[in-house]
Amino acid sequence: MKRIFLGIALLFLSPAFSLQTIGAPVKRPNIIVFLVDDMGVMDTSLPFLTDESGNPKRYPLNNYYRTPNMERLAKKGIRFNNFYAMSVCSPTRISIMTGQNAARHHTTNWINPERNNRGPYGPLDWNWEGLKSNDITLPGLLRKAGYQTIHVGKGHFGAKNFEGANPANLGFCINIAGASFGSPATYYGMKNYGNGKKKSRHAVPGLEKYHGTETFLTEALTIEANARLTEAVNKGKPFYLYMSHYAVHAPFNSDPRFADHYKNSGKPKKAQAFATLIEGMDKSLGDILDHINKLGVADNTIIFFLGDNGSDAPLGDPHAVACAAPLRGKKGAHYEGGMRVPFIAAWAQSNAKNEYQNRLPVAAAALQPQQAAVQDLFPTILNLVNVPIPKNHPVDGNRLDQLLTGKQDSSRDEIFLMNYPHSPHRSNYFTCYRHGDWKVIYHYFPSEESENSHYQLYNLAEDPFESTNLAPTKPRKLRQMMKELIAAMNAHNAQYPVDKNDGVTPLKPILPGQNENE
C-alpha cells in the first residue's frame, strides 16, 4: 500500500504531470516568441521565397546555412514569405511588445543606450528613452492573466538609466541577461561575456555561473531558458517565454561548435562566423523544442519564430544583391533585404483534442504568401488566451488567425509602413510604404543611394528583387502611392526629419507631380 501512495505522489510531482492528464480543463496555452537578432529571411537552409507557382525555391544562401530545427518547426506549422519587421531592432522589439507600428510608438531607430542617437536631422522628440513601466505591454497583460512571463536574452527596449533598460519593469516576472544594449561585448564564456576588471559597456549581465567556461552565450541563454520553463511547469503556471537571442548580432564571434562546417566554404571569415551564429541559434531552437517535449507540455505550447530586422550577413554592399541574395539590401536599408524576416508559427506538438489548438489551428508544412508584420503578434496572442486589449491602447496589428490556417484573409489590408527618420545607417531619412504588389520609398534628403531623387517605386510582383525603379515612368502610380503613404503617416501620428535650415520644422513628404495632368 505504501508503494502505491508513493507512486501517486511521484506522479503529481513529475514536471510532465498536468491536470489535463486526468481529464480536467486544459490550462491556458504556453507561448514562446523565439526572436533572432539581425536574422533575415535568407539566413537559413529553410527556403522562404517561392517560384512563379508559389512553391518554395532554394537559392545559394539556403545551401550555405544549416538550420535543421527551423526545418523541423516548419514541418509542424506554417511559414510566411512576406513577413515584415522594421529595418532596425528596437523599433521591432517595441512593436512586438505593444502591437503598434514604430511610426506610432515613435521608437523609430535602434536605441543607443548612452546617448540620444536621433541623427543630425532626426525628430527632436522621438522616443529614445523607450518603453516605460506604465506602458501597455504584451508580457504585462499576460502576467496579470496569471502567466509566468520570462525574458531571456537581448532586451534593448530603453536607454541606460531609464525604466525600459530593465525588462523586469515592463511586465516580465523574470529577466535573464536583458539590458539596455543590443550587441553583446563577446559571446565567449572564457571572456566572461565582457565582464571583468575592465568591464565592457556591453557586458552581458546575470550569467556569472558560466564565466570562465567554454559555454557560448547562445548555449548559456538556452540552458537558462529551459530551467525557467521547468520552474513554471512545476508551479503549474502557463508560461510566456520571450526567447530573445543576442545572436546573430555582431560581434561575429565564431561558435567553435560549428566552425568546421564552414571552413571550406570559400566565404570570408566573418561570414563563416555569422553562419556559426545562425547554426548555434538553430540548435537552441531544437533544444527548447526537446525540453518542452520532456516537460509534457508540447501539445499546449505555441511557438512564434521570427527575426527582428533584415539580414546583417557580412557578404557585401548593403544596397546590392549580396547579403540577402536574391533580395536587395540588408539590415538598415530601404530595400526588401532590410525588412523581410523569417516567420514560422507552430504548435510544438499536434493534438486534435486540445482546446486551444482548435481555437487557433495552424496548418502543417504550409507556406503563407500574404503580407503580415511583427505588430500582428500582439492581438493574435491576446485573443488566443482571452485577454482583452485595453480600450485606450491603439493597436496597429491584425490577428493572424485566418492566415495561420494557410488560407487567405481578404479582411486584411495588404499594407506595410516603415518609417526611419534618422541617420546614420545603411539608408538614411526614409519612409517605405507597401500596398499589395507596389512599394514606394520616400527619401527626405535625396542622395546617391536614392538615385538622387525623393522617390523610388517598385512592382514587387514583377520585380521582386527591386532592380527597376519605376518612379520616372509611372507618375500616376507614384502619385497614388505617395498619397497613401502621406495618409498612413498622418493616421499613425508619425514623426519626420527636421528642416536642415532651422533644425526644428518637420520636413513632411512632398507629393509628386503637382503640375502633371491627372
- Residues 174 and 302 placed together within one structural domain of the fold: yes
Q: Are 378 and 317 in a shared domain?
A: yes
Q: Are residues 309 and 214 in the same domain?
A: yes
Residue 510: inside a domain = no
Instruction: For cell 523581410, name the residue.
Output: 340
Q: What confidence score (pLDDT) does residue 201 get?
A: 93
Q: What gap in Å lies between CA 303 and CA 417, rounded to an integer?
A: 26
Q: 272 with 379, same domain?
A: yes
pLDDT for the residue 198:
80
Q: Are residues 329 and 449 in the same domain?
A: no
Is the full-model pTM beyond 0.75?
A: yes
Q: Does residue 450 sit in the same domain as residue 321?
A: no
Beta bridge partners of 430: 420, 443
Query: In the block, which residue shows the cell 550555405?
Result: 64
- Shared domain for 260 and 135, answered yes or no, is yes
Distance CA 91, CA 182 (A): 12
The pLDDT assigned to 232 comes to 98
Is 109 within a domain? yes
Write down the pLDDT at residue 27.
Answer: 87
pLDDT at 4: 37
Q: Is residue 412 part of a domain?
A: no
Whether residue 14 lies inside any domain: the answer is no
Q: How far is residue 308's CA from residue 306's CA, in Å, rounded to a whole number?
A: 7
Contact 194, 200 (CB under 8 A): yes
Q: Structurally, how many domains does the chain consist of?
A: 2
The closest of 311, 308, 314 to 331, measured between CA atoms, is: 311
CATH number at residue 120: 3.40.720.10
Q: What is the pLDDT of residue 26?
A: 64
Q: What is the extent of the structural domain holding 467?
A: 429-491
Residues 440, 389 share a domain: no
The runs of H, that is alpha helices, within 266-369 are: 269-294, 355-359
Q: Where are the beta strands (DSSP E) in 136-255?
A: 148-153, 174-176, 239-245
Give mean pLDDT in consecutive 10-residue pieces for the chain, a chain of 518 residues. 38 41 66 98 98 96 98 98 98 98 98 98 98 98 98 98 98 98 98 89 97 98 98 98 98 98 98 98 98 98 98 97 98 98 98 97 98 98 98 98 98 96 98 98 96 97 98 97 98 98 97 59
What is d(CA 515, CA 489) in angstroms, rounded to the nearest whole number?
24
